[in-house]
Structure 1
Amino acid sequence: MEYLILGGNGFIGSYIVDEVLSNGHSVTVLDIGPEKYREPIYGVKYVYGSIDNQKLLNETFRNKDILIHSVSTTSPFSSNQNIEYDIQSNLINAINIFKVAVENNIKRIIYLSSGGAIYGEPTSIPIPESHHTNPISSYGITKLAIEKYLQYFSLNFGIEYNIIRPSNPYGPRQNPFGNQGVISVFLGKVLKGEVIEIWGDGNVAKDYIFISDLASAIYSASVSKKVSEIYNIGSSTFISLNDIIEVIRKVTGKNVELNHMHSNKFDVQKVCLNIEKAKKDLLFEQKTDLLEGVSKTWDFVKNIKY
């Protein structure tokens, strides 16, 4: 089949590319630029440009079977700083993407939503897909709206879809010097000998998933006989910031200095996903635990020249 991966040169997207290729399919990537940490892959068609370029979308979407939308321009924090940009760059562009997909007879769309921000503060743990959605950030609100519009396009135009709500992905090729991805950013601080800033007392606990495990689930959703479904993908385990720090100390063998900051109001404090539906329908399993995942990520980070 012919896959089109939006954001295929990003952290998550690059692993989706690997997974799709390993299963024998053709891949086209649409992204604003090349991958940051590796050279272009032989056999992949790369198209560079913005998803708000209508002409480029029409040209790139032709003769594709599966569309995987893994682009997001904001985080829970940054979305609240510029709500208008969050809506325009994510929601409005997503609606146009779905429209162009329908016009080009794409068979199925896989959309990467959020397994934390979309639910808001949980009332039941672990959180099932049926849990209420009450996001407390613009990021979560926009993600939820995109889900609803994807369902709208499926209902009215017949295009198939599955939605993935991932927990917090981490692993090699995630930028350790950016502002997203707690584990990678912490390891980047360790590499540079800098103090790690932690919001609150370190007991904020979330669900983390190693990137290759997430990519495997995304691919499974793209070929599943089940459609019009929403799937949580995570570890189904609470992992606190303090837990992460202890594993980082063990893996790196370094003394990690901490600076505790005031907690953020925009972020959900405790998230743990129920993944039983994905286990049943997609045969999903978490293959990489935190210790192994952090070790693999550190092997990548410690070899980066900065």
Structure 2
Amino acid sequence: MLGAGGFLGTHLRRALRLGGHEVTAFGHPPPGMTSERPAGTADTDGIAWHIGDFTDRGRLVRALGGCTVAYHLIGSTSPARSNAAPAEDVADTVIGTIAFLDAAVAAGVKRVVFVSSGGTVYGVQNRLPIAEDFPTDPICAYGINKLAIEKYLHLYHHLHGLDYCVLRVANPFGEGQVSRRQQGVVAAFAAAAAHGEPLVIWGDGSIVRDYVHIDDVTAALIQAGTVPALAERVINIGSGEGRSVLDVADAMEAAAGRPLVRDFRPGRPVDVPAVVLDITRARRVLEWSPQVPWREAVARAYRFHRDHAVPAVPVP
């Protein structure tokens, strides 16, 4: 599992272990784990850890040895920041992924599950919800690189028979997500509300996104790795419902039980006006559908930040 120490990876690796799967984690160490840890040693959850950079082919091949399914969860930057350094983003994500795919083929991996971006690869659409066969015209380098990786997965399937599944995940959120600048609005609002800070809103708050709880994303990832045969390899994962940033602010106020100050900032050119994903294919191919209700999910995110004192990252 690449990116096992991140938000998605933390939830996925634990869920896989609870389900009785053997898990090998690769990437930067999570909090509390040193980079000097011997390769392949298990943590308290019984997960074998390999610390390293995913462009290191030798380490990757060793970590992938014996693995039948490899999850690629690594993302180097955010949509808003990617346009500032597109060449760097290509080097970190696309070039690194090609090295990973070479390692996966060498190690005999049977399937790669890749987390793409349902929020950026489609670009601006004139109708909703967005199905997987809609045009893909990203307006940020982040989305272009995700799409490029999808194409390389198809190429390696053609050249080497490497099976793969791409999950175009909408906007995941939930417990454990740390607020970061210019991304993750639910986590940002939860951290701000927990610390008595204003909710920073880019634009007028009318931008619509498809928010999906981390538990539902984790369930979809497990299905993508375990379904015996995939009728389709590119699959949207979301709630199938759109909510504006103002809707998120309203839900966070309800979770906090008090009014929250809203700090409106100028809109950003990388923000697509509206993204709502059609999840019909996910229901059919993965036999998956979202289970965590919206208000409950937001309340859980708020309580996490309130109870764990996770600081918000300042917005410039």
- What residue identity is the alignment partner of 1:161? Y
Q: Please state if 1:232 is matched with 2:241.
A: no
The equivalent residue for 2:6 is: 10
Report the secondary structure of 1:12's partner residue: helix
The 5 A counterparts of 1:171-250 are: 171-176=174-179, 179-227=182-230, 229-250=233-254
Q: Deviations over 1:79-126 (max 9, x none)?
A: 111111100000000111011101111010000001010000013310
Letter in 1 for 2:140: S
Change (3 A) 1:160 1:177: closer
Q: TM-score, normalised by structure 1?
A: 0.95
For 1:11 and 1:281, locate their aligned partners in 2 and report how far apart those are by CA, in whole Å.
25
Match of 1:296 in 2: 300
Which residue identity does 2:183 align to in structure 1? Q
- Is 1:251 the equivalent of 2:255? yes
Judged with a 3 Å threshold, the aligned counterparts in structure 2 of structure 1 residues 129 and 175 are, in CA distance, closer, same or farther, namely same
Alignment-mate amino acid for residue 33 of structure 1: P
Structure 2: distance between partners of 1:111 and 1:26:
19
Structure-2 separation of matches of 1:269 and 1:13? 29
Distance (whole Å) between structure 2 residues aligned to residue 254 and residue 52 of structure 1: 47
Change (3 A) 1:154 1:35: farther
State the secondary structure of the residue aligned to 1:259.
strand
Which residue of structure 1 lines up, in the alignment, with residue 287 of structure 2? 283
Spell out, residue by residue over 1:192-222, the C-alpha distance to the aligned partner (whole angstroms, 9 max, x if none): 2112211111111110000010010011011
Write the deviation string for residues 45-94 of structure 1: whole angstroms up to 9, x where unpaired: 11111112222112111111110000001111111111111000000001
What percent of counterpart residues are identical?
A: 30
Indicate conservation of the 8 Å contact 2:78/2:182, yes or no.
no
Q: Which amino acid aligns with 1:247?
A: A
8 Å CA contact retained: 2:57, 2:100: no
Instruction: Output the CA distance in 1 between the equivalents of 2:32 and 2:74.
Output: 16
For structure 1, which runs of at least 5 residues remain unmatched after alignment? none
- Please report the RMSD computed on the Cα atoms of aligned residues, expressed in angstroms: 1.6
2:85 pairs with 1:82: yes
Give 4+ residue runs of structure 1 displaced > 4 Å after superposition: none
User: Do the aligned partners of 2:17 and 2:45 also contact (CA within 8 Å) in 1?
Assistant: no
The match for 2:144 is 141
